[in-house]
Structure 1
Amino acid sequence: MKLLVIISTLVGLCESARILGVVPTPSFSHQVAFRPLWRELAKRGHDLVVITTDPENDPTLNLTEIDISSAYELWAEAEIVRLLEELKYQPLKLSNHIKWVSFQVCDHELGNPKIQALLKNESEYFDLVIVEFLHPIMLAFAERFHCPHIGVASMELPTFLHNIIGNPVHPIAHPDVMLPFEGELTFFQRVMSCVFNFMMYLNSFIPMEEDQIVERHFGKNMPPIRDMMLKFSMMFVNVDPAFNLRPLGPAFVSIGGGTHLGSAKPLPKNLQEYMDGAEYGVIYFSLGTNVKSSLVPPEMQKLFLDTFKELPYRILWKFDEHNPQDVPANVKIMNWVPQQDILRHSKVKAFITQGGLQSLEEAMFSHVPVIGIPFIYDQEKNVHKMMTRGLGIELDKNKLTKESFKAAILEVINNPRYKEKAVELAKLSRDQPMTGLEKAVWWTEYVLRHRGAPNFRNPVLDMPFYQYYLIDVIGFLIGLIIIFWFTCVKIVSSFRYIFVSCLHFSTVKRKIQ
């Protein structure tokens, strides 16, 4: 028996790997999406080093975290949320500004002493790098440690990234994540989507200072970033395969569908008493981690509070930093809330949210109807997608009135079809052969076993632009048609000439006779 234990232990050690995880975005929602993956890989015996802005500091796991939370200061200085709102109708300018902010954040993070020590340690090694694909500068870690890499994303990829990794791209069937429409598009929306995709595609080729940043921290002789992007082994994207209906390449793995959800935990005593004591129920209100409630215009804050005052329900509002003024008696303000466990409480009647992907999933799996008020980036698309499926009601923050806000709240609470639809959607999402986490772990270990996944490389990645879009074939066929048409015209013209000549000759001959 002891021998079997020793053998199994040795086998486990042989199969364990050293993995580097890199998630640079200073946003909790981007970090929490991959925590279950780090934890599960660590539990399976792999040795992980994770570069993160939000370390868990769990001593029970075989997990080393490098804290880069100082990047939050740069994120705040860049006022990224305000710019996402102001520039949403100027996509090129917005895209370039987001790239510029990403470069500054990555440059700052790579200067962290612990990361520098990691890079300069000649004896350091990793078998695999898992890196957030939205920040391609960080792909240089895979080059530095001469190992395969897996790209990850906490949200749907922009169309130009789908293009780069070889997924089929159709601007009408699958508009970009930044465009707030889907389904049957109007003519104007189809034109807008095509132009937007073309502009983003061209813009992705415009070099900025990313290669200089890579050279500064990783040294010379590094390949161009675009070449590093094409070397990915797998792409894990936190989208639900039940609702992300688009053609995908062989190396693309949808790991969404509640992957980030944890097991239920008891609420703090004060919160439990507040929830239990709500005679008519509770409405939970949160704008997530990126959209700060304190930065919402005062007139909108007043609109929210005036509406809540007229409702019989208790309101729990996650409000960062300073509390609003003139808070009604039925409204409780908290700086931090265990959102998943709040939504699981039986007294929760509705969830008012900005439309973050994780928040919408948490509402759906908790069977809570939603009032979606999107603010930035993919939130409009997320809200529109789920609301068209019946999860709740979508409101435009720029056209919001107390009457429309109150009517939407009462509608989703009093009409049972929204809760019934949440139950139906949750059941549909769960009806998968594997959970998102199981898929992510299995494919991670597949890449480790085979030192990459070149057999899953989409052949379109090696095709020139003109071949992928059949420009040469179409040109050749059009050329054949033109030649055939021209030949037919010449033949008909020749026969016509002969016929006319013969007719003329016959006429002349009769006249002579």
Structure 2
Amino acid sequence: MAKGKNKMDLVWITLLLVCPAIMLAGNVLVVPLDGSHWVNMKIIVEELHSRGHSVSVVRTSDSWYIKESSPFYTAITLDMESGFGEEFITAFIAKLLEIQRNGSSWAHFQLQMELNSNLHKKWATLIEHIFDNKHLMESLRDAKYDIVLTDPVTPLGVMIARHFDLPLVFNVRWTCHDEGHFAIAPSPLSYVPLPGMMLSDKMSFQERFINVCAYYATQLSFANFVTPCYDGLMQKYFPQDSLISLLQRADLWLMRIDFVFEFPRPTMPNVIYMGGFQCKPAKPLPQHLEDFVQSSGEHGVIVMSLGTLIASLPHEVSEEIAAAFAKLPQKVIWRHTGEPPVSLGNNTLLVDWMPQNDLLGHAKTKVFVAHGGTNGVQEAIYHGVPILGLPLVFDQHDNLFKMEFRGACKILNIFTINRDSFLQGIEEVIHEPSYRMNMQRLSSLHRDQPMKPLDHAIFWIEYVIRNKGAAHLRSESYTMPWYSYHSVDVILFLLGILLIMILTFVAFVKRLCFCVCRRIKRKRD
């Protein structure tokens, strides 16, 4: 009997331990963006799966990075294209680089707006097809999801959450409208620089003037190039909402930055900072890479990677960089595809893929030559490796500017460099101790927090699942018209009262003067 009782006790203890995990497990619908954004989202998806949550991921037939088969999620493959496939992005990047080489800012702006407009038109068509597909929409409803986790660069996930009235969590820095903070948080343009303007939070009058003009120009461009793409869709399915109000309804904004990287600014209680959540301690390198790194001796290693979208540069630029590398005593590991440069030295190893995080965490790594993508910058901060920046497109200039402002990075113009200027730049970052000291200080600040950024992010996702939303953290300011939000009506009311008081006072003085004048006149008479 005692033995049987012990077995029953063991069963009950096991159930007590397992049941809470089962009860807290959520059914999560993930609507991601492909490319480097999926690299981020995939980390969260895998962590959610490891904690017992059921994850479904929406993908299109032309998905680039998002695979149809995965042990971590169930794919919902839409039999249609998003327009954000590998061929489109490769062609766009090549055209953008060509424009930047010619130095035409206006052509660069036009191309960016053309990309925005074309992509959003395709996404609007895709969303309309999805919403018109009754079988697909019923299957999504029948799945009884607890939460939608999405990247708001495309509004598909935002609209699905609104349609099914589901709690909404963003994995975000950028939205289809602008940088995330500008959609929900007070953003005084006197000290909050617009991303991309290469301005700090300490601006002169001229810089503040530029910042204000750029902000309103950006709002105007979105109003003309992005919002009209969704007008028909909004009128058809969400007549009571606007595109920006759908974004502002999100329960939680998981922001892929922190204030080691970002300039201080106002924020909101439903913005959760998880900068560097993808970073982790370095693992041992594959043996062939470890042997190459160790062969560098006391000189150490330089790591060069231009991210997921840009694996190779124009041939003449690659030749200049390779020639500069060949003159260095350090060994170089360079992620490069295509034809190897003729000027490549014996100290340089070209690879199609590299374990970037593990290389940056290696004791012999001296410098990271990078394009300035958020992932790479955060990994460099985490491991305390100074950066030689070669910004190319999107937010890369702005990311590297923040690092340069903090003294942890040197920026070069990739289209004007030659072997001498590149060599001089990389030697400066290697031999000037302030670059490494400043980056290691940022690393220390970044690591000094009560819990890991990924654990912080997952806690808040589970918080939204447990509480079926987080409306109490969300400001209802998005429901207010602009004149109420900025208290224009209150100011006009107060000005009206003040005007009435002034007019009353003037009338009183006039009346008083009139009475005095009449009394004086009577006395004279």
Give the shorter-chain TM-score range: 0.7 to 0.9
* Contact 1:125-1:145 at 8 Å conserved across structures: no
Q: Which one of the candidate residues 79, 87, 92 is aligned to 1:79?
A: 92
For the Cα contact (< 8 Å) 1:106–1:138, is it kept in 2?
Answer: no
Residue ranges of structure 1 left out of the alignment (5+ in a row): none
Q: Is 1:17–2:26 an aligned residue pair?
A: yes
Structure 2: gaps (5+ residues): 1-9
**1:79 aligned counterpart, secondary structure:** helix
Partner residue, 1:193: 211
1:62-141 mapped onto 2 (5 Å cutoff): 62-66=72-76, 71-73=84-86, 75-76=88-89, 79-80=92-93, 82-83=95-96, 89=106, 94-95=112-113, 97-104=115-122, 107=125, 119=137, 121=139, 123-141=142-160
- Give the Å deviation of 1:269: 2.4
Q: Distance in 2 between matches of 1:96 and 1:208?
A: 13
1:43 is matched with which residue? 50
Paired AA for residue 125 in structure 1? K
The answer to whether 1:309 aligns with 2:326 is yes
Matched residues in 1 for 2:323 and 2:111: separation? Answer: 37
Aligned partner of 1:210 among 205, 230, 240:
230
**DSSP-derived class of the 2:85 partner:** helix
**Could you tell me how far apart the structure 2 residues matched to 1:326 and 1:92 are?**
36
State the distance in 2 between where 1:204 and 1:229 align. Answer: 14
1:159–1:197 contact (8 Å) kept in structure 2: no
1: distance between equivalents of 2:520 and 2:417?
83
Q: Report SS of the residue matched to 1:239.
A: coil
Compared with structure 1, are the counterparts of its residues 95 and 144 closer, same or farther at alpha carbon in structure 2 (3 Å cutoff)? same
Query: 1:73-472 counterparts in 2 under 5 A?
Result: 73=86, 75-76=88-89, 79-80=92-93, 82-83=95-96, 89=106, 94-95=112-113, 97-104=115-122, 107=125, 119=137, 121=139, 123-143=142-162, 145-153=164-172, 159=178, 161-164=180-183, 166-205=184-223, 207-210=227-230, 221=237, 226=243, 227-244=245-262, 245-256=264-275, 258-279=276-297, 280-294=299-313, 296=314, 298-472=315-489
> SS of the counterpart of 1:2?
helix
Amino acid in the other structure paired with 1:64: T
Q: Report the alpha carbon displacement of residue 273 of structure 1 after superposing the two structures with TM.
A: 1.5
- The answer to whether the 8 A contact 1:283-1:316 is kept is yes
- 8 A contact 1:318–1:334 mirrored in 2: yes
| Per-residue Cα deviation, 1:314-333 (whole angstroms, up to 9, x for no partner) | 22221133333332222222
* Residues 21 and 212 of structure 1, relative CA distance in 2, 3 Å threshold: same
Counterpart contact for 1:54–1:69, Cα < 8 Å: no
TM-score normalized with structure 2 length: 0.83
Structure 1 letter corresponding to 2:435: Y
Q: CA deviation at 1:416?
A: 1.8
Question: How far 1:10 sits from its partner (Å)?
Answer: 3.1
1:204 Cα deviation (Å)? Answer: 4.3
CA contact (8 A) 1:92 1:203 kept: no
* CA-CA distance at 1:396 after TM superposition: 3.1
SS in 1 for 2:359: helix
Contact kept in structure 2, 1:233 and 1:457, CA below 8 Å: yes
Deviations 1:259-298 (A, max 9, x none): 012443332222221111013222111221223423x3x3
Structure 2 letter corresponding to 1:289: T
- Aligned-partner Cα distance in 1 for 2:283–2:67: 17
Number of matched pairs: 495
Superposition deviation, residue 56 in structure 1: 6.8
Secondary structure (helix, strand or coil) at the match of 1:209 reads helix
- The AA in structure 1 aligned to 2:466 is R
Is 1:54 matched up with 2:65?
yes
Q: Tell me which amino acid in the other structure corresponds to 1:19.
A: V
The separation in 2 between residues aligned to 1:504 and 1:54, in whole angstroms, is 95
CA-CA distance at 1:443 after TM superposition? 1.2
1:265 partner amino acid: K
The 1:58/1:276 distance shift into structure 2, 3 A limit, reads: farther
Q: Name the SS of the counterpart of 2:379 in structure 1.
A: helix
Counterpart CA distance in 2 for 1:157 and 1:421 is 34
Counterparts of 1:404 and 1:5 in 2: how far apart (Å)?
65
The code of the aligned residue for 2:89 comes to: A
Distance in 1 between residues matched to 2:72 and 2:372, nearest whole Å: 34
Whole-angstrom CA distance in 1 between matches of 2:419 and 2:408: 22
Deviation of the 1:487 alpha carbon = 3.8
Partner SS for 2:142: coil
- Could you tell me how far 1:8 is from its partner in structure 2? 3.0
For residue 161 of structure 1, report the CA deviation from its aligned partner: 4.5
Residue 32 (structure 1) aligns with:
39
Q: CA RMSD in A?
A: 3.3
Q: Is the 8 A contact 2:128 2:233 kept in 1?
A: no
Q: Which moved more, 1:188-197 or 1:118-127?
A: 118-127
Q: Once the 2 structures are TM-superposed, how far is the Cα of residue 168 of structure 1 from its aligned partner?
A: 0.8
Q: Could you say if the C-alpha distance between residues 40 and 358 of structure 1 is closer, same or farther in structure 2, counting changes exceeding 3 Å?
A: same
Residue 75 of structure 1: CA displacement?
A: 3.0
Change (3 A) 1:324 1:267: same
